[in-house]
Amino acid sequence: MKKPPIAACFFATLACGALTPAFAATVAIVGATLVHPERAPDKAVVAAQTVVIEDDRIVGVGPMDKTRVPPGATLIDGRGKWVVPGLIDAHVHFFQSGNLFTRPDVAAFPGVPYAQEVARNKKRLPETFKVWLASGITGVVDVGGPLWNFEVRELAELAPAAPRIAVAGPLISMLERPELDLGDPPIIRIDNPRAARALVHKEARYRPDYIKVWFINRPGDDFAAQSAIVRETADSAAFNRIPLAVHATELKVAKAALRAGAHYLVHSVEDEPIDDEFIALAKRNNVIYCPTLFVHLGYGYALSNTWKPTEAERRLADPEILAALSGIDRMPEVEWPPLVKRLMQTPPEPKLNPAVYANLRRVRDAGITIAMGTDAGNIGTVHGPSVFREMKMMQEAGMTPLDVLKSATVGGSRALRREADTGTITAGKYADLVVLDADPLADLDNLSRIHRVLKGGHVYDPADLLKTVRQ
């Protein structure tokens, strides 16, 4: 496959002196309190533990006074610290930045051409990777973008500091989005099953981790014809042994996706309470449910010029994106898109349909796998620390801190398709861990109080990662 400019930009960045993580053949975290999100609440927290790592894997976990630390190991003092599995954001888009200019199909700002925005996103991938790691995120799932998405996955594997990445290619869509088409579109409208089959087989050559359908049903659309496209997409994906992810936000649409064979629902059911049939279908498919709560609010805040960074975002996000998100009042009013003018006059109410929260609780109570995901890259949802907004909203919906942590680790590992290797603090799994300065179960905001991040045995200081981001 011919390398587009993304590769040249990326490798030029590496050649100019990228950050090199601390790495030793053997590392031991000594005396920490471990949080095991896969366990029952009364057994999830274990104090005074040692974790021994050799190369990229955990080789031992046990009480500090009974676990041998090999001579010469690099030691991390875990006393007064908490250790959790590396967090996983199960819903992101690398072709989008999170700033105001990243979705011209929603709001087109003439002062920043879309081609310039995409070029910036490609060039800044090394910094975006570091922001993810500095936020304690050791894995992300990109569920749809241009074909250069597949190269993002390849580049992350080569980068000195990057999360593990699963990817999908262009979305099989019921809608057109010509504003996003620069010759390698992230969204492709499909109007018949044959075209769906052809696109699946084209994407299959790139070894996608998912095939993704953007299942949008508007008044007047032929729902039966749309459902036939989704069934053909599912059948073609199954033929190629690729799981199917579906954007489906209405109950009838979500159930049609499940009947077709969807493995991953990347948004909440928003319009009405889910029913027994939905639960039965979800269990039959062993589906993953990603609620993706904050992203709707992010658009409203950003485009009404009321978006404000959280404390974690001020510390951890890409400063270029933060600056752009607060820039409407610095633009000439003539450059404000009509939607922005309307929202600035009447800012939207910052709340979701109560059905979204009730549905999340019902999915949780039914034992369906939940994966935390932000839809990062969309306007107002920044890469990296937006996970902390998302997790707080999941708690507000009625999930316990341990439930939420489980969704961001165990559930995320399923969405990443790495559950055999990630998601828990277990001997034999990758040493993807976060060492925290405060108890995450006492306050989920403490997940952003990061002392060190380990990914595959490499030890990162978030401050060092962010130095190169802020240059």
Q: How confident is the model over 276-333, as pLDDT tens digits? A: 999 999 999 999 999 999 999 999 999 999 999 999 999 999 999 999 998 898 899 9
Q: CA 128, 132, 133, 134 torsion: positive or negative? A: positive
Residue 167 forms part of a structural domain: yes
Tens digit of pLDDT for each residue in 366-379?
999 999 999 999 99
- Determine contact, residues 52/433, Cβ cutoff 8 Å: no
Exposure b/e, 94-122, CB count within 10 A at least 16 = b: bbbbbbbbbbbeebbbeebebeebbebbb
Q: Are strands 82-85 and 74-77 parallel, antiparallel or unpaired?
A: unpaired
Alpha helix locations (H) across 168-326? 193-204, 223-239, 251-260, 276-285, 295-303, 311-316, 319-325
Tens digit of pLDDT for each residue in 212-251?
999 999 999 999 999 999 999 999 999 999 999 999 999 9
Q: Which residues contact 19 (CB under 8 A, 6 or more apart)?
A: 130, 160, 161, 464, 465, 467, 468
Structure tokens at 157: 């594997």
Residue 165 pLDDT exceeds 50: yes
DSSP conformational letter for 15: H
Structure tokens at 324: 């752009």
> What was the pLDDT predicted at 38?
98
Q: How many CB atoms lie within 10 A of CB 345?
A: 8
Domain co-membership, 75 together with 93: no
Average pLDDT, the chain: 94
- Determine contact, residues 32/81, Cβ cutoff 8 Å: yes
Domain co-membership, 386 together with 446: no
Q: CA 420, 425, 428, 430 torsion: positive or negative? A: positive
Residue 170 pLDDT exceeds 50: yes
Q: Are strands 458-460 and 450-455 parallel, antiparallel or unpaired?
A: antiparallel
Domain co-membership, 43 together with 175: no
CATH number reported for the structural domain that contains residue 52 in this entry: 2.30.40.10
Residue 14 pLDDT exceeds 50: no
Domain co-membership, 116 together with 142: yes
Residue 365 pLDDT exceeds 90: yes
Domain co-membership, 201 together with 234: yes
Residue 454's nearest CA partner among 71, 17, 81, 46 is 81
> What was the pLDDT predicted at 316?
98
> What was the pLDDT predicted at 15?
35
Domain co-membership, 109 together with 68: no
- The CA-based angle 167-173-174, given to 5 degrees, is 160
Residue 310 forms part of a structural domain: no
Q: How many CB atoms lie within 10 A of CB 57?
A: 15
Residue 6 forms part of a structural domain: no
438: exposed, middle or buried (Cβ count in 10 Å: 0-12, 13-18, 19+): middle
Write the DSSP assignment of 241-274 as a string of letters.
T--EEEE--SHHHHHHHHHHT-SEE-S---SS--
> What was the pLDDT predicted at 329?
85
Domain co-membership, 218 together with 239: yes
Residue 244 identity: L
DSSP conformational letter for 73: P
- Determine contact, residues 373/90, Cβ cutoff 8 Å: yes
Domain co-membership, 66 together with 174: no
CATH number reported for the structural domain that contains residue 400 in this entry: 3.20.20.140
Residue bearing tokens 């998601």: 423
pTM confidence score: 0.94
Backbone angles phi, psi at 270, to 5 degrees: -110, -20
Domain co-membership, 191 together with 266: yes
Structure tokens at 462: 């978030």
Domain co-membership, 38 together with 153: no
- Determine contact, residues 170/145, Cβ cutoff 8 Å: yes
Residue 201 forms part of a structural domain: yes
> What was the pLDDT predicted at 349?
87
Q: Give the range of the structural domain holding residue 394, as residue numbers without chain letter.
A: 87-297+348-416
With residues binned 3-state (H G I as helix, E B as strand, rest as coil), the percentages for the chain, rounded to 5, are 40, 20, 40
Residue 1 forms part of a structural domain: no
The distance of Cα 299 from the centroid of its chain, to the nearest Å, equals 17
pLDDT grade for 148, boundaries at 50, 70 and 90: very high
> What was the pLDDT predicted at 303?
96
> What was the pLDDT predicted at 215?
97
341: exposed, middle or buried (Cβ count in 10 Å: 0-12, 13-18, 19+): exposed
> What was the pLDDT predicted at 160?
86
Residue 147 forms part of a structural domain: yes
Domain co-membership, 109 together with 206: yes
Residue 31's nearest CA partner among 76, 67, 78, 85 is 78
Q: How far is CA 95 from CA 192, 332, 411, 412, in A?
A: 26, 27, 24, 21
Residue 203 forms part of a structural domain: yes
> What was the pLDDT predicted at 326?
86
Residue 8 pLDDT exceeds 50: no
d(CA 169, CA 143) in angstroms, rounded, equals: 7
Ranges 53-67, 117-131, 344-358, 381-395: which has the least confidence: 344-358
Query: In the chain, what percentage of residues exceed pLDDT 90?
Result: 92
Q: Are strands 244-247 and 264-265 parallel, antiparallel or unpaired?
A: parallel
Residue 7 pLDDT exceeds 60: no
Domain co-membership, 247 together with 363: yes
Structure tokens at 212: 């993704």
Residue 227 forms part of a structural domain: yes
d(CA 345, CA 348) in angstroms, rounded, equals: 10
Question: 367: phi > 0 → left, psi -120 to 50 → alpha, else beta; which?
Answer: left
Q: How far is CA 247 from CA 201, 235, 266, 270, 298, in A?
A: 20, 17, 6, 12, 18
pLDDT grade for 9, boundaries at 50, 70 and 90: very low
Q: Are strands 74-77 and 26-35 parallel, antiparallel or unpaired?
A: parallel
Domain count, the chain: 2
